[in-house]
Amino acid sequence: MRTLVVISLSVLAAVALAGCVVGPDFKAPRTDAPANWTAARAGDASLHEPLPSAGEAKPSNEWWKSLGDPTLDELEARAASASPDLRTAALRFAQSRERRRAASASWGPRVDLTASGQRQRPSENGATSRTINVLAPADRRKSLVELLSQPFDIYEAGFDASWEPDFWGRVRRSVEAADAGVDEAGALFDGVRLDVAAEVAARYVEWRGLQRRIALARQDIGAATERFDLMKARTDGGMSSDLDTTRQRALLADLQARLPPLLEREADTLDALSLLLGQPPGSLQAMLAAPENGETSRALPDLALGLPSEVARRRPDIRQAEARLHAATANVGVAVADFYPRITLGAGFAFQSLHTGDFGDWGSRQWSIGPRLDLPVFDMGRRRSVLSLRKLEQQEAAVAFQQTVLRAWTDIDSALNAYAAERQRNERLAERERLAADADTLADARYRHGESNYIEALDAQRSLLGARGDKADSDAQLAMRYVAVCKAIGGGDPH
């Protein structure tokens, strides 16, 4: 008997391991990436600057280091360890791993230990009385019924074991879906990490741009004050009119009025950075002080994005959508497996006794062993509805994947167009600033030597102030556009 049981269990285990897996198998969908960076672009051709794509851009979780700013590197390191969003994503990833362990636990047998000690009293009008009536109705005595209904103690201890062979792959599909859930949570974590890093970098370059604007505003106020003092001295000496002095004073007041909004934006940006790092307001004030040399901008590296197909596969949202589609496909297999019979192998062993002194005797043993078959027959169409639901969820996930891929290429195209447009604008603004500076120097010299009136010098000064401010704004915007490209390509190092 024992040999037969062992052989039967071995055969069932072999059949379960080699059994079929019902339901559709997952196949990674295509991303339909363009052959190069000029094959699928929108907008004017002047924005489609040639981009090297012969080699693969090296993926990097520290893509911001291409900006070459140690302060930004430190901010990113702090955000990686203290960001509440990242900590939440990490906890969700840990939860997905635990769900996977729970799903894979169904592979093995289940063993439960049981122990009980109870005092019972059978009913005089229950099963005991009926047994006497059936076996000896003519000899039914009240005293016998009362005796059998007396309270008694019963002790029991043992174990129950069960195992369900995975004949149709229900467990395997469940584990497959859980594995896909881990992949999805991992991609979500990478996406949050990319979002946090990009947001920190964007707010940082915005902060540096504001520092530059504030420094220029104070320089402009100083220069305007110096000219106002000169104008006032010339007016007092009878060499200029009060109108020229009033105009210069109005320009000075206008420059002074522009400074407070810049300081407000600087404070707001600092608060945003502090929030990203999980720090209270003002905690980064000393760290982000303006450099002593006044230099707050760095040259940006050239773009070299690599192969479009590799760039698309790096994006966390695409990997997340693919994992969600994989999980939905595996869940279809789980629903299909529910239409097939389930066989559970069970065994139990226990000691049972009315007296503690007899509890350990071999004669107090009881056991059971054998399979149990659950064959679904009728459930009002519940399983069929669940299968239809899972198939619809799979179709929805497939559509969402294609939409995610399309949105990815749209994001990349928009980011590249914005970067190219701002870079071209920045080059023109740099030329404008240089010419405005030359014109201001020449106009100021002509005015000081009495070769022109003050209107010419004032116009030149205003042109220079506008050119410097626009160039500073463009420098910050260009750096932010660069960060946007880095984020759009999934965090790969774009240089």
pLDDT at residue number 334:
92
Confidence of residue 17 (pLDDT cuts 50, 70, 90): very low
3-state secondary structure (DSSP) of residue 153: strand
How confident is the model over 317-362, as pLDDT tens digits?
999 999 999 999 999 999 999 999 988 888 888 888 887 777 778 8
- Mean pLDDT (the chain) is 82
State the residue for tokens 């760039």.
311
Q: Are 177 and 327 in contact (CB under 8 A)?
A: yes
What the chain holds in terms of domains, given with CATH numbers, is 21-109+168-342+382-488 (1.20.1600.10)
Flag whether pLDDT at 136 surpasses 70: no
How confident is the model over 153-175, as pLDDT tens digits?
888 888 888 888 888 888 899 99
pLDDT at residue number 433:
92
Question: Encoding tokens for residue 228?
Answer: 């106002």
**Region of poorest pLDDT, from 77-81, 265-269, 419-423, 443-447:** 443-447
Interhelix angle 170-236/242-276, rounded to 10 degrees, is 160
Q: What is the largest CA-CA distance in the chain?
A: 145
Most confident residue range from 104-118, 295-309, 379-393 = 379-393
Find the mean pLDDT for residues 96-104.
90
Residues 6+ apart with CB under 8 A from 96: 178, 181, 182, 184, 185, 186
Confidence of residue 449 (pLDDT cuts 50, 70, 90): confident
State the residue for tokens 């100083």.
222
Question: Encoding tokens for residue 296?
Answer: 């707050």
pTM for this one? Answer: 0.79
Confidence of residue 304 (pLDDT cuts 50, 70, 90): low
Confidence of residue 5 (pLDDT cuts 50, 70, 90): very low
CA distance 326 to 186: 14
User: Which amino acid is it at 154?
Assistant: I
Find the mean pLDDT for residues 389-413.
92
Helix residue ranges per DSSP H, 302-381: 308-314, 316-337
CA distance 425 to 428: 5
CA distance 183 to 186: 5
Most confident residue range from 110-114, 395-399, 437-441, 484-488 = 395-399
Residues 6+ apart with CB under 8 A from 341: 373, 374, 375, 376
